[in-house]
A and B are shown apart, each in its own frame.
Chain A
Amino acid sequence: MSTAKRKKLLTGPILLSAVKDSFVKLNPVTLLKNPVMFVVEIGTIIVLLMVLAPGYFHAEQSMGFNITVFCILLFTVLFANFAEALAEGRGKAQADSLKKTKQDITANKLVGTAIKTVSSSELRKGDIVVVSQGELIPGDGEVIEGLASVDESAITGESAPVIKEAGGDFGSVTGGTRVVSDEIKVRITSDPGESFLDRMISLVEGAKRQKTPNEIALNTLLISLTIIFLIVVVTLRPIAGYLGIALDIPVMIALLVCLIPTTIGGLLSAIGIAGMDRVTQFNVLAMSGKAVEAAGDINTMILDKTGTITFGNRMASEFVPVGQETEVDLTAWAAISSLKDETPEGRSVIELAKKLERSYDSSLGDGGEFVEFKAETRMSGIDLRDGRSVRKGAVDSVKKWVLSKGGQIPGDLDSRSDDIARLGGTPLAVAVDNRIYGLIYLKDTVKPGMKERFEELRQMGIKTIMCTGDNPLTAATIAREAGVDDFIAESTPEDKIEVIRREQAQGKLVAMTGDGTNDAPALAQADVGLAMNSGTTAAKEAANMVDLDSDPSKIIEVVAIGKQLLMTRGALTTFSIANDIAKYFAIIPAMFTLAIPEMEVLNVMGLGSPSSAIISALIFNAIIIPLLIPLAMRGVSYKPMSSSRLLGRNLFIYGFGGVVVPFVGIKLIDMVVSIWI
């Protein structure tokens, strides 16, 4: 989904259907899933009965008050339902747009050698289909023959087509995507209803949403707080009765609703859904909420060097002159040799020369003849019009070439080139006819910003381990440059599993990314496995998250989203519970002042009258839910920092804030309410 499309998702229709859903969700059977709000609903119904049959309850005198209480309570439930419906609505809208992709597709099934046209819904695992240019791929599968470019924008939102070919790690295709060129044979790997698209739809729809372990634990706490306050309020009636204080049922219900954690109770499921949604918007598909939560707990992250930490291709990083030559000359000739070289290495030489602000006469190359790199010569270069030949290439080859032209080999060439090789770089020698000017130091470059990212991870307490097939020396160089904590050189897929097991044995949670089939076991072993959408089906099956953009460094953002999800939950719970102090001070004096006038001293907020105090507290309790919906949906802001600073900050905002805000809020509401009461 493109950014534009994503933003549009929160539109009028979604709001409208959320409003509708908040009424549908009033059904007590649905609401039973949320015990806190269920208690509020029961209270609402009791007050409604008192409004409808005042004679039976002897509540004729307090009709106006009861109707007000009923309305506020009803809105409290509606607001909570609205929060959930809104969070779900965004998912549903995404699912709908995906469903459009999932029409019935005609498939060309290969039966023996003949091609039979069938509907995609008739395809079963193991069937083979032929897909030609312009056709939709009828189901998930592996390319077994051919090569084609495929437009996967329906799934990833990325418009540039990707190449899919038989064998290797780029063989998996997704149903519903379109072949834009050539023809491929695909072996179907999923039965109808179980395809990637189906799973994606059900995930974003939230249909199969299960409560995550942390949500269950938190819910337990909320339920027990609700029961405690239920006990407090129910037992208060006979106790106050002994003292000759009559407590009206609506007042008791008001006290109960204010004390039980309705704020977090109303927003809890919205926070969970929105957290998943944020991951989806990030174009990462999490197979379960549990995986997102686990991401927040990650202690160790295993990252492939190539493609994740580095660009993967070797780029010029330094010009090393040899013998008597100067760097200026070397740079000029290196650049000239690369003028017509379109390989990434060649372009990087020009880039580096530009970066070093070296000037050279590029017109020298005009009209020259480009000599392409060949496996036999292992050199490339240019033959200039003035007859001179410029070459760059493997040191041995260039040496041979220069010697054949009768040149001299500078004494320090070998030692210099060995130095570069030892550091994991690739030395390229640059020569003009019989004269060697020096070396280009090619190295694998760390992506910009990675060092800072790893520093952030370290602050979050996450250890990073880099896996690479390089020799230990090269690995150490890149590791130092990127700032990872540890590395495994010459690693095999088995090594990765080994490392994951070792870390897990120490009680750590491990995240990793992977794309190849041989990554699958490690992805399955890891607590959070992020597979690339471009990767094999096996890898995607084994992982618990799939990145549709195939950007392995995204795992870092996923961790941040996981943390943010947990933080939002914690922050709103703390806020909700801290609110109780102010609510007590609003309602307790209001309940007892009529019978015990001296209780007025407890009315520290100076609220207008007992009725206005109770109503103000209830209104505050209700409107805080919609006011916090944006926060619940967006998540609390998260910047990587040490846990103590993070805690101090959040505790101040949501803990201290949770104590103070309701005092102010209730007072303000009371000033308005007092005008009428």
Chain B
Amino acid sequence: MGTLQMVVVILILLLLVKPVGTYVYHVFSGEPNRTDKWFGRTENGIYRLIGLKQREGMSWKKYALSFILTNIVLVAFSYIILRVQRGLPLNPNGTSDMEQTLTFNTVISFMTNTNLQHYSGETGLSYFSQMAVITMMMFTSAASGFSVAIAFVRGITGRESVGNFFEDFVKAHVRIFLPLALLVTLILVGLHVPQTLKPTLEVTTLEGQAQHIAIGPVASLESIKHLGTNGGGFFGANSAHPFENPSPLTNVLEILSMWMLPAALPYTYGMFAKNKRQGWVIFTAMMTLFVLLLGLNYYAETRGNPAINALGIESSQGSMEGKEVRFGIPQSSLFTTVTTAATTGSVNNMHDTLTPLGEITPLALMMLNNVFGGKGVGLINMLMYAIMGVFLCGLMVGRTPEFLGRKIEAREMKLIAIAILIHPLIILVPTAGAFLTELGKGSITNPGFHGMTQVLYEYVSSAANNGSGFEGLADNTSFWNITTGIVMLLGRYVSVIAMLAVAGSLLRKNTVPETTGTFRTDNGLFTGILIGTVLIIGALTFLPVIVLGPVAEYLTLR
């Protein structure tokens, strides 16, 4: 039964890949199509308003600069609002201004699509902040990432330019995120997710106690939280909270909302490459890794906690600690795997209480950061590994390696080296650093191997711009706010800029015609090579810390 629940969701996803991927292609391909009629007028209005008359293609540098500048403006705007939210309207609960380092962390967290939350939504944010900062950034950061991914794909598939950032940014909003968010919001409201501007409810319980029940514009945030693979919850408990995710039905809806766009992007890429098999190769590699890690988590969770089993407590359900009874193990496992694969970071169960082997799944997915991945970054990363795989194995057919007909040479390898280095660097260095200072060590609530995982998870989640919390770590301190803030910044921008540069560099190259001597990247063998490259280069890096954290915990748990 449990497996069937997961299989059905995966099957629905498979059915969505082609239509959604095709739709996304039509949005960004620049070829005239039906969707122009529906959205053209709104878009032209926006273009006129922002003075974007000429929407010619940009160089990769201009594209990257536009992307960064837009993000900087949004960051500045959000920082000010959070710092003065107390005096702003729509603050019925009288929430006070946010502290400096926490604001720094929060603003970066949402701009980088990480949504690591060191605050609790119920008490830390006014309704205005929730809408003008949190929800706004959930749209803009997702649209930014999506645009960059499309630009990268245009570059490597040899379109005339990487495109125009502002046009992509507007189109991503108007044609993808806004309509989908509207649709999902309405469905969620229909499924009893609150959507109101009324203040926190005060009720008297049967025992005569006064209880405060937090409500607010939840459904609208919930929809974009998943569609944009953001993950920041309205409430501290995130999607485990019954108002955010009331039933198994909303759970499936939320899973599909966050998974659909990242899973469809490889197909879109295949359409850009004019060879859908290229897209399927990437998709298959992602899905294979996904299923393997989902299996690991599900297996570990259903087996339960050996220490509790040893006490003779009935454990036929598996390890239910930290999980919601309304979801059970399968719906929790699937949610955990999807949310870390698609780097959403919302949680419907507490990852801190996963069994040791089960912890490996979210950690590994974020360490790889390319199994679907959020808002386009996953596709970029997977394509980066594809280029690496081509470089290593392409040599073995006796030619200078080429990907999609373009030679991979020193310049590309240098840029890829930056992108591939930054991920372990910003995970392992701060993790090691945290253990060298009491500021870091002091926040650990569960010393030993699990404590080590708590720290590791925090930085992995920041670096992968996932944002899910392992929780259990007392992380709202200046130390954590600042260090994770920096890690999130580096994790988002360094690799994206390096990869845009790769796209720009490949775009300038002549295409080498395909012959029988060409190394093919659209067949099963390459899928295997891609998975191998990801595992050997991406995963082996983190093997020692995984061994010291979850594996050691597993081996010593009696």
Interface, chain A (partner B; CB < 8 A): 213-214, 216-218, 220-221, 223-225, 227-229, 231-232, 234-243, 245, 293, 296-297, 299, 458-463, 506-508, 562-564, 566-567, 569-571, 573-574, 577-578, 580-581, 584, 588, 592, 596, 598-599, 601-602, 638, 642-644, 646-648, 650-651, 654-655
- Assess whether B197 is interfacial by the CB under 8 Å rule: no
Main secondary structure of the interface of A (DSSP, over half): helix
Chain A residues within an 8 Å CB radius of B69:
none
Binding stretch for chain A, among B252-260, B275-283, B305-313, B420-428: B420-428
Contacts of A227 in B (CB 8 A): 421
**In the complex, what residues of A have CB within 8 A of residue B394's CB?**
570
With a cutoff of 8 Å between Cβ atoms, the chain B residues found around residue A225 in the complex are: 537
Provide the residues of chain A in CB contact with B515, threshold 8 Å.
Answer: 299, 461-463
What residue in chain A is nearest B419 (Cβ atoms)?
A224
B6: interface (CB < 8 Å):
no
Q: A232-B541, A240-B548 are in contact. Are A646 and B520 (CB under 8 A)?
A: no
B149 CB, min distance to chain A CBs, angstroms: 23
Is residue B506 within 8 Å, beta carbon to beta carbon, of the partner chain? no
Shortest Cβ distance from residue A654 to the other chain B in the assembled complex, whole angstroms: 7
Whether the pair B432, A238 counts as a contact (CB closer than 8 A) is yes
Question: What is the minimal beta-carbon distance from A562 to any residue of chain B, in angstroms?
Answer: 8
B532-556 interface mask toward A, CB cutoff 8 Å, 1 = contact, 0 = none? 1000110011111101100110011
Most interface-central of B396, B399, B420, B523 (chain A CB within 10 A): B396
0 or 1 for each of B516-528: is its CB under 8 Å from A? (1 = yes): 1111100101000
Query: Are B392 and A235 in contact, CB atoms less than 8 angstroms apart?
Result: no
Chain B residues in 8 Å Cβ range of A577 = 392, 536-537
Does B449 touch A at the CB level, under 8 Å?
Answer: yes
- List the A residue with the shortest CB-CB distance to B552: A596
Tell me which residues from 319 to 362 in chain B have a Cβ below 8 Å from any Cβ of chain A: none
- Cross-chain contact B516 with A643 (CB below 8 angstroms): yes
Which of chain B's residues 72-108 have a Cβ closer than 8 Å to chain A? none
Interface status of B410 (Cβ within 8 A of chain A): yes
- Docked pose: A580 CA to B532 CA in angstroms: 13
Q: A225-B537, A507-B510, A571-B395 are in contact. List 10 more A-B contacts (CB 8 A).
A: A218-B395, A228-B541, A232-B544, A243-B448, A460-B516, A567-B395, A567-B398, A638-B398, A642-B517, A643-B399
Q: Which of B396-438 contact A (CB under 8 A)?
A: 396-400, 405, 408-410, 412-414, 417, 420-421, 424-425, 428-429, 431-433, 435-436
* Shortest Cβ distance from residue A569 to the other chain B in the assembled complex, whole angstroms: 5
**Cα-based distance from A462 to B545 in the complex (angstroms):** 48
- Say yes or no: B421 contacts A507, CB within 8 Å: no
B409 nearest CB across to chain A (Å):
5
Task: Quote the shortest CB–CB distance from B397 to chain A (angstroms).
Answer: 4
Q: B478 at interface (Cβ–Cβ under 8 A)?
A: no
Residues of A within 8 Å of B544, CB to CB, are 232, 236, 588
B459-497 interface with A by 8 A CB criterion: none
Which residues of B are interface residues toward A (Cβ below 8 A)?
388, 391-400, 405, 408-410, 412-414, 417, 420-421, 424-425, 428-429, 431-433, 435-436, 441, 448-449, 451-452, 510-513, 515-520, 523, 525, 529, 532, 536-537, 540-545, 547-548, 551-552, 555-556
- CB atoms of A651 and B510 under 8 A apart: no
Inter-chain contacts of B405 with A (CB < 8 A)? 507
A655 to B547, CA, bound (A): 25
**CB <8 Å contact, A243 and B548:** yes
With known contacts A507-B511, A577-B536, A459–B398 Cβ distance under 8 A: no
Contact between chains at B393 and A570 (CB < 8 Å): yes
Given the contacts A228-B420, A577-B536, A584-B540, A297 and B400 also touching, CB distance less than 8 Å: yes
Q: Which of B412, B513, B555 contacts A601 (CB 8 A)?
A: B555
Closest Cβ–Cβ distance, residue B359 to chain A (whole Å): 16
Number of A-B contacts (CB under 8 A): 194
Q: Across chains A and B, which 3 residue pairs bring their CB atoms closest together, nearest first?
A: A461-B517, A570-B395, A563-B398
In angstroms, Cα B412 to Cα A237, docked, is 33
* Complex contact B436–A238 (CB within 8 A): yes
* Bound Cα distance from A126 to B513, whole angstroms: 46
Nearest chain A CB to B437 CB, angstrom units: 10
Contact B429 A242 (CB under 8 A): no
Given contacts A221-B388, A221-B391, A506-B513, contact A213 B555 (CB under 8 A): no
Report the Cα distance A216→B516, complex, angstroms: 27
Please, which residues of chain B bring their CB within 8 A of the CB of A655? 393, 532
Residues A569 and B555 in contact in the complex (CB < 8 Å), given A220-B413, A228-B420, A507-B405: no
A218 to B543, CA, bound (A): 24
B536 and A580 contact, CB distance less than 8 A: yes
Given contacts A566-B400, A596-B552, contact A241 B516 (CB under 8 A): no
Q: How far is the CB of A163 from chain B (nearest CB, A)?
A: 39
Check if A654 sits within 8 Å of B541, measured CB to CB.
Answer: no
* Pair B399/A648 contact, Cβ less than 8 Å: no
Q: Determine the chain B residues whose CB is within 8 A of the CB of A651 once the complex forms.
A: 393, 396, 525, 529
Q: Which residues of B are found within 8 Å of A242, using beta-carbon distances?
A: 435, 441, 451-452
Q: Is the CB of A220 within 8 A of B420?
A: no
Q: Which residue of the partner chain, among A293, A508, A654, contacts B512 with CB atoms under 8 Å?
A: A508
Q: List 30 A-B contacts (CB under 8 A).
A: A213-B409, A213-B410, A217-B410, A218-B413, A228-B424, A231-B424, A231-B429, A235-B428, A236-B432, A236-B548, A239-B435, A242-B451, A296-B398, A297-B399, A458-B516, A459-B517, A460-B398, A508-B512, A564-B398, A571-B396, A577-B537, A578-B536, A581-B540, A588-B547, A598-B555, A646-B398, A650-B397, A651-B396, A655-B393, A655-B532
Contacts of A221 on B, CB cut-off 8 Å?
A: 388, 391-392, 413, 417
Contact status A217-B541, CB under 8 Å: no
A-chain residues with CB within 8 Å of residue B399 when the two chains form the complex: 296-297, 563, 566, 643
- Bound-state CA distance A235–B452 (Å) is 13
- Interface centre among A220, A459, A577, by most chain B C-beta atoms within 10 angstroms, is A220
Q: Known contacts A224-B421, A566-B398, A580-B540; is A596 also within 8 Å of B555 by CB?
A: yes
B513 touches A508 (CB 8 A): yes
Which B residues touch A243, using CB under 8 A? Answer: 448-449, 452, 548, 552
Min CB distance A555 to B, Å, is 16
Alpha-carbon gap, A391 to B432, bound state (A): 97
The minimal Cβ–Cβ distance linking B467 to chain A, given in whole angstroms, is 23
Inter-chain contacts of B436 with A (CB < 8 A): 238
Interface residue from B396, B520, B542, B555 paired with A599 (Cβ < 8 Å) = B555
Residue of A nearest to B433 (CB): A238
Q: Which A residues are in CB contact (< 8 Å) with B516?
A: 458-461, 642-643
Q: Hey, which chain A residues are within 8 Å of B540, CB to CB?
A: 580-581, 584
A380 shortest CB reach to chain B, Å:
49
Interface-central residue, A236, A239, A574, by most chain B CB under 10 Å: A239
CA A564 – CA B520 in complex, angstroms?
A: 19
Q: Which of B399, B410, B451 has the most CB of A within 10 A?
A: B399
Which of B395, B432, B433, B523: most chain A Cβ within 10 A?
A: B395
User: Which chain A residues lie closer than 8 Å to B542 at the CB level?
Assistant: 232
Nearest chain A residue, comparing its CB with the CB of B430 = A235
Instruction: Please give the distance in Å from B435's CB to the nearest CB on chain A.
Output: 4
